[in-house]
Structure formats: C-alpha cells, structure tokens
Structure 1
Amino acid sequence: MDKYAEISVFLSVADEGSFSAAARKQEMTPSAVSKLIARLEQRLNVRLFERIAGTIRLTQEGERFRAAGARVVQAMVDAEDAVHLRDADISGLVRIHTALTTAKYLIAPRLPALLDRHPRLRLDFVLGTERADFIRQGLDVAIHSGRPTELTLVGRPLMLRPWVIAAAPSYLERFGAPAHPRDLLRHRCLNFTIRTQWNSWTFQDEGDVRTVDIPRHIGANQGELLRTLALQGLGVVRLAHFNITGDLRAGRLVPLLSAFQRHSEEDRFYLLYPGGRSLAPRVRAVVDFLAEQLAGPDV
C-alpha cells in the first residue's frame, strides 16, 4: 500500500475513533487496518494512537500527523478536481434498484440536493425486494441489505437498518400487547411473503439470541403495504425504523418488545455497483452522493 493510501486509512481511524468503523469506511477488515497502523507507527517510530480500555485516541504526535495528512489528502483532491469533469458536465441516465420503502423514505428526500448539484442527471428507479440483476435489468447502482455475494459487484457498507415491532393503538385495545416474544405466537402478525428470513424475528433474551418463526395473519411482498395494514389495526408488524418513524412519533403505531430488540450486521445496507472497471462520471456522481448521504448515522 502506498503512503497516500496509508494516510487515508490513518485519517479514517482518527475520524471514526475505531478500527472497525474505519475498516467499513475503507472496505477493509479491522485486522488489516490495525496492522497497517502498527506498520505506520513502526516506520515513523512514534505512537500515533493511545489504546486504553478498548478505546483509542490520538497522541500529540498523532494530532500533528493528522493535520499534515489532511493537507496531503486535500491537495490530492484538488489535483483530481482540476482534471475531472465539472459538475455541470455530469449528465445522462442512472438506473437505481432498491426496495420501495428505501426509495421513498431514504432516497427521495435527498434527491433535491443531488439534482441541484448535478442538474443534467436523469434517474430511473427499478423497485423490488429481490436481489438486483445488473445485466438483465440494465442497472447502474443498487441498495440492498446484507453483504453482497456477487464477485462482480463492489459493496460499500452504509447504515444499519434497525427493525421495530409495532402495532396500532386500536389493535392493542382489542388484543393487548405482547409482554414476551413468545406471546407473538398468539397474536395476529403481518409479515413478508418474500425473503422468508425476514419472517424469523430475532430477539435478545437474558443474554441469549433467540429466533421466533412468526406465522403471518396477512402477508405482502412490500413493507409499505404492511405498514398500511398495521395502521388499520390489523396486526403486529416488524418493519424498518425509517419506514415507520413518523408513525411512531405521531402515536399512530406503538413500539413493542423494545427491551428484547437486537441489531445485526446482517441488516446493514450496502451500496452496490459494478467492479473491475472505471465508473462513468454520471454513475460515480450518484454513488458518491448516496455513500455520503447514507453512511450514517444508523436509522
């Protein structure tokens, strides 16, 4: 790895405050990041980070190296910007595949900023919960949860997608609220008809991870319809937090079993795009924008 790349990794660790977060940002493993920092400290013959009780913080030497490294990175950015296409020159169609709820609640509110930055871009959304087929569907970019397995795609990790179990007040008035995950087996539940792993709800119970296979009273292949059914008082639903955050705040849905909730790396969003070749400027513009907007905080 060249010195510029080393500085980039070092700055990621300094900014994120952890090796694991920097590893996600740099698309590396935490052990690779840790070894790189150790080699850098050995080459410079200084300690850049203090490691105390599982946390890290910059030493005085690390702070000075951070300031100097930031100037180096900015100089490289300025040099690349001098030869890149101007924002106004970025144009053409970009096809994006993702689920309806992701497009509606996470991407659509951010599109004005993207199109203000690149007014000549055009976007087509291909909506679905199935995994994207880039060649058959003519796609440029996709956003899905779960680490990608396709060797031809780059997967940039984004935010986590926490799940929330909830029901409408009208449902709870009729049927009561479950006090324990096992009580869900006696309730009317709304669930997906696709991605059957989403129908196994996982909980943290007294330190153990337990999974409950939830029978569905009504099923659908789109989370937005399940949300509508839950709002009608038809059952208990488990949906992404960003999908129902407005309903929770307004009291239209009531969160349930919060003490048993757990969040898994399996529910992290990934930004997918073809690897092994240079991206067209129009695609690179969209990829960089979405990575910037959806990198966190987790929602």
Structure 2
Amino acid sequence: MDNRFGDMQIFLAVAQNGSFAGAARELRLTPSAVSRAIARLEARLGTQLVSRTTRALALTAEGEVYRARVAGLVAEIDEVERGFGHEDEAPRGPLRINSSVPFGTQCLLPILPRFQLRHPGVTVNLALADTLVDLVEERADIAIRIGPLRDTGLKAKKLGRSAMAVVASPGYLQERGEPRHPRELAAHPCLQFSFRRSIDTWPFRIDGALVQRPIEGAFLGNSGEVVRMMAVAGGGIARLGRFHVAADLAAGRLVEILQDCNPGDYEDIHALYVGHRRLASRIRAFLDFLEAELVLPGA
C-alpha cells in the first residue's frame, strides 16, 4: 500500500535524529523498517535524499530541499487531523445518514430539528430507502438497520427494539370480517414484502407453542411504508413494527388484531458506522443524540 505520508514522517525523523536507529527509537520501528521507507521514498522521487557512510548520515542537497518543503506539509496535516474528533471542538461538516423509510419518517424526522439546533455547524444529509446500502460506497456516515445484523465489520450501536403487530384498517375488517384465529388468515389477503426472506409465514403463539403460519396475498411492497399505506387504504392485513404503526393505531386508521396470539417477538434497531480510533465529532454527536433523544413509538 502506498503510504507517502508515513514515509515523509520517517524521513523527517531521520533528518532530525541524524540516524536510522534514532528515528526507529522515536517512531517505535525497527531500523530496517526505517531504511526501507527511505529507500522507497528515494526510488519514488528518483533522487538520493540521504548520504550514508559507515560513521555518519547526512542529507544531500536534494534531501535538504525536500525536508524544507515537506516539514510544513506534515505539520499542517497533523494539525488538521488533531482538529477532527477533538473533544472540545464543536461538531461541523456534512453528516450523511441512511435509514429505512419507516424509521426515517416516524422516528428520525420528528427529532432532527433539535439536533440541528444544538449543532448548527453540521449539515444533515438524510437518505431514506429500504434497500441495504454499502456505507463506504454510498459515503454514508451512519446507517440505521432494523432486524438481524449481518457480519459487515461495521460498528453497531443498539438504539432499541420494536415489537411487532398484525394490523388492518377498520374499513377492511368491517367489509371482510376480523380473523379470530391465525388459521383464518387463509381467507384474507396478507400484505407481504418483496425484499425480505421468509415472507410467506408469520409467527404466532398458539396454545403455548410458537407456530409459523403460512400467509398468502396478491400484493408485495418494496418498503414498510408501502405496506403500511396499503393496509391503511383497506388493501389487506399487514404485520409491521409497532413504531411504524403507532400513530395509525392511535388515530384509528389501523386496528391491531390477533393480539392473544402475538408471539411477543421484537426487531432490534441499530446505528451502524465505520469504526475509527478517533470518531469524527459530528458522528459521535449524532450517536449520543440518538441515545438521549430517540423514543420509539409503541415500543
């Protein structure tokens, strides 16, 4: 891997100490590692920077010029890096957040104005999509994930969990009747997801046993919000997170059914981010804000 900045630091340490051994002690490297770094640097520049003899080490004329030019550059880079993530520095800069549509609309957007009031130097860029994105490829700082986590190598901060509920609109239940037992779902259109595995069964607790009940329907939505809106419109029965349908239940747009058979399962909600030794202050501030301010409706 090309580590030009590291090679510059090693060269400056050699120039300061007057020897490979002294630079190695300062940087906690081996003398051979220091020697290889200088050799790489000279090969890349196509010129000799250090004059070596059995008794002494000195910079060549080209080495002196190079030292003068890179010393300020390395100092400036060090200063920039010290500024990022510093404990007493106000968070600033762009903060890119990726979230599912339901979580973004129901949980994030209502509290984001408070975050911006506290951290006016941070520019929030929120993208809502129910498809999974690669944080690195999409240049996202934080992604909110609902459900089981994949082993992605990312850091995860648990934000909470949401219980599940089977719901339908009052108009639908008036027209089609309310199922009193999970087996009666066979006579009803159940709204499914097009992006989840095991979309053809719902779990229920029947006579103390956990049972996966097959469901059928002629509608599949590519997001939780699509399925929720279809349920509100009277298109069938849905199974969604309580945080997603809490406002609809409170307003009477949806009604929870089959509560006696609810297995009590939950979906965990996490904030994922790329872990660094010194996390950017804007990312750390938002994670702390979520921990303090996030309230999951109906959880």
* TM > 0.5 fold call: yes
The separation in 2 between residues aligned to 1:264 and 1:271, in whole angstroms, is: 20
Conservation of the 8 A alpha-carbon contact between 2:191 and 2:238: yes
**Alignment of structure 1 residues 156-171 onto 2, 5 Å:** 156-171=157-172
Query: 1:291 and 2:294 equivalent?
Result: no
Q: Distance in 1 between matches of 2:297 and 2:248?
A: 20
Matched residues in 1 for 2:169 and 2:298: separation?
25
Give the distance between the partners of 1:179 and 1:268, measured in 2 at CA.
28
Cα offset, 1:148, TM superposition: 2.5
Cα displacement (A) at 1:264: 2.9
| Structure 2 CA distance for partners of 1:209 and 1:239, relative to 1, 3 Å | same
The one-letter code sitting in structure 1 at the alignment partner of 2:271 is L
Q: Contact 2:141–2:283 at 8 Å: present in 1 too? A: yes
Structure 1: give runs of 5+ residues left out of the alignment: 1-82
Q: 2:87 aligns with which of 84, 96, 99?
A: 84
Q: Relative to structure 1, is the Cα distance of residues 293 and 223 closer, same or farther in structure 2, using a 3 angstrom cutoff? A: same
Give yes or no for contact 2:93–2:121 (8 Å, CA) kept in 1.
yes
- Counting matched residue pairs gives 214
TM-score w.r.t. the length of structure 2 is 0.66
Q: CA–CA distance in 2 between the matches of 1:276 and 1:140?
A: 12
TM-score of the aligned structures, taking structure 1 as reference length = 0.66
State how 1:84-233 maps to structure 2 within 5 Å: 84-86=87-89, 89-197=90-198, 199-233=200-234
For residues 188 and 142 of structure 1, the distance between their equivalents in structure 2, rounded to whole angstroms, comes to: 33
Give the counterpart letter for 2:209 in structure 1.
D
Which residue pairs with 2:20 in the alignment?
none
| Superposed displacement of residue 262, structure 1 | 2.3
Amino acid at match of 1:131: L
**Deviation per residue, 1:59-113 (Å, 9 max, x gap):** xxxxxxxxxxxxxxxxxxxxxxxx7224xx2111111111011000011111121
Q: Structure 1 residue 298: deviation in Å?
A: 6.8
Pairs within 5 Å for 1:57-68: none
Unpaired runs of 5+ residues, structure 2, are: 1-85
Could you say if the C-alpha distance between residues 173 and 147 of structure 1 is closer, same or farther in structure 2, counting changes exceeding 3 Å? closer
Change (3 A) 1:110 1:197: farther
Partner of 1:259: 260
Q: Name the residue aligned to 1:236.
A: 237
1:287 shift after superposition: 1.4
1:149 Cα offset (Å): 2.9
Q: Is the 8 A contact 2:188 2:217 kept in 1?
A: no
Distance in 1 between residues matched to 2:209 and 2:200, nearest whole Å: 19
Give the 4+ runs in structure 1 shifted more than 4 A.
Answer: 295-298
Q: Which has the larger radius of gyration?
A: 2
Paired AA for residue 290 in structure 1: L
Q: CA RMSD in A?
A: 2.0
Aligned amino acid, residue 87 of structure 2: H
Code of the aligned partner of 2:144: I
The alpha-carbon distance between structure 1 residues 104 and 198, as it changes in their structure 2 partners (threshold 3 A), is farther
Aligned equivalent of 1:268: 268
Pair 229,296 (structure 1): closer, same or farther in 2 beyond 3 Å: closer
**Aligned pair in 2 of structure 1 residues 199, 119: CA closer, same or farther (>3 Å)?**
farther
Answer yes or no: is the 8 Å Cα contact 1:97–1:128 preserved in 2. yes
Cα deviation, 1:245-294, whole Å, max 9, x if unaligned, reads 122112221110011112335x1111111124321111111111112233
